[in-house]
Structure 1
């Protein structure tokens, strides 16, 4: 009778140990920290109960595995007096362990790991205390061989892909739309990008000459551009050395100097400063306030330029 009572108890304990092993180890420290910070009240409470025992992952894992191993090895011994022959006790105990101590508990704890882990936090502390003399030395060996057990830290590319996956799973609880994913992905890429990778070529920029007049056609172009700041340029002559025809020596005395016209950006015109202008007056651009632009090298990191823009002194720069 005593052996018959011990069998379901051992099966239950084996299931508890196996389920807790999978449930606790599937809860990463990073995930628990996030829940403790951004989760709702229930999630924060549950995560705070689990975190103290989850911090020492080697000790927790060693304790649960030792307890589960002892329970599983004891079960065939208890079955042996109840069944004729040792083969039957091994077969039945194995079937009970696989079904009731492995499949059901692990599938349940993997789905409801946070809830079950919080409820079983105090009993788990007691189990750790009971097996501490055995589990602690083994856990220290694991700590020495494998190193400390830290939470998952994602690299930039992995974090970007994780955000994309959350957006793709919007129907399963994800709340990130496409625009949010693009903004987050762009922010993550800033660290690796330089100015020349994000700049707009000058031939594709809408600009006004310094000699222009703000009449109807010009103001209409400004409005159609949709920009809040319009670059202003002056045409300057730039000397260029050209070799004479038939000369292959490249000597300076045999070269002719030719000038070409280039557009030199001298600053920007704020569109809002044109709101009160009367197109009939055709106010010259040269009489308006032209804000100077900073110059940045093409290999400057984008984050540095963004910091300059955030200071409010300028929202546009010239790439040298």
Structure 2
């Protein structure tokens, strides 16, 4: 078969050569765009828009309208790529012999349409070892798909039910995940309540009806106790322990069980503070974030204080003249913390405390 080639260096030969290179370049662009655009989902782009660096936010905002209709984009790029690849051998055949046109067009398609564009657009070339080393040298090492902290938080938010993207994470779940991630960037100061907003009681005050009403209205499980100056916090009392006190007795707060509190610097990382609380509360019973230190770390307030198995110090004077209903509540708590109470112990308590 005789080749019908255009003589070299004539105007028609140059036109066919330019068209061939243009087809290769256009096919390379469509191949790179098909991988570069379709490798990012709409969720990925929304994450970059909300949490990426300014340059990424700007670029993602431009790309998102294009990739919203993925099927149309995919068909457009594939049809354009197919047309250019089919047309390339026709024009190559006019400037080269038949057999060389096939080899050259195939080489151009593999190298400049498939391998190089996809390696450039994705920074990840699925190539044999020698070619991969060359691309790594030219383009840099492969980039992993690890998200930054802000991007990961946004990614979690977009998987929530509230985002309306089809995710099934509840608001509580997304809030907990985001809170756990935020803790690494927060210090103890971020979790502290300013002294001006803290409800506390003076150790010299009495547990009268008005005071107990204020404590109940605040809704706190613990109330700080100060001495003279509100900034001089010396400990705290458990609100649940007030069930054993009667307002008419006007029990001095200094006669109550005052528990020691941990002291930390406001610049400590919040996770370190949490670990400190967990470590300090291991030997004893805990309630929420507060701790029950062992006896050696307590403030002993009077000589009649006694230590119970729940890690608290109780004073005999707290239960003088206790009513039988109140004693029942106390005994139920004691049974939970210390085990069964013998009949002898029960009769002894009744004789000592019941009016």
Q: Which protein, 1 or 2, shows the higher relative CO under an 8 Å CA cutoff with sep ≥ 6?
A: 1
Name the one with the larger strand percent.
1
The normalised TM-score by structure 2 is: 0.43
